[in-house]
Amino acid sequence: PEVELSPQNAYIRRRQHEMARAANLSSYSVGKGANRRVRIYREE
């Protein structure tokens, strides 16, 4: 399953990706503009 985080600015999203990677999780961004957010998931 994926966890979708709340919309954030580019700096915060970048930090969220870094934190996900540090926890051995994968992530990607979805949405456009002010509604862009990060989804985090575990690789199987």
The pTM of this model reads 0.91
Instruction: Say which DSSP state 3 is in.
Output: E
Task: Report the SS3 class of residue 22.
Answer: helix
CA distance 44 to 34: 31
Domains of the chain: which residue ranges? 2-41
- 22: which 2 tokens? 């540090």
CA dihedral 31, 2, 15, 7 (to 10 degrees): 40
Closest by CA position to 8, among listed 40, 26, 23, 25: 40
Per-residue pLDDT tens, the chain, 44 aa: give them.
Answer: 999 999 999 999 999 999 999 999 999 999 999 999 999 999 98
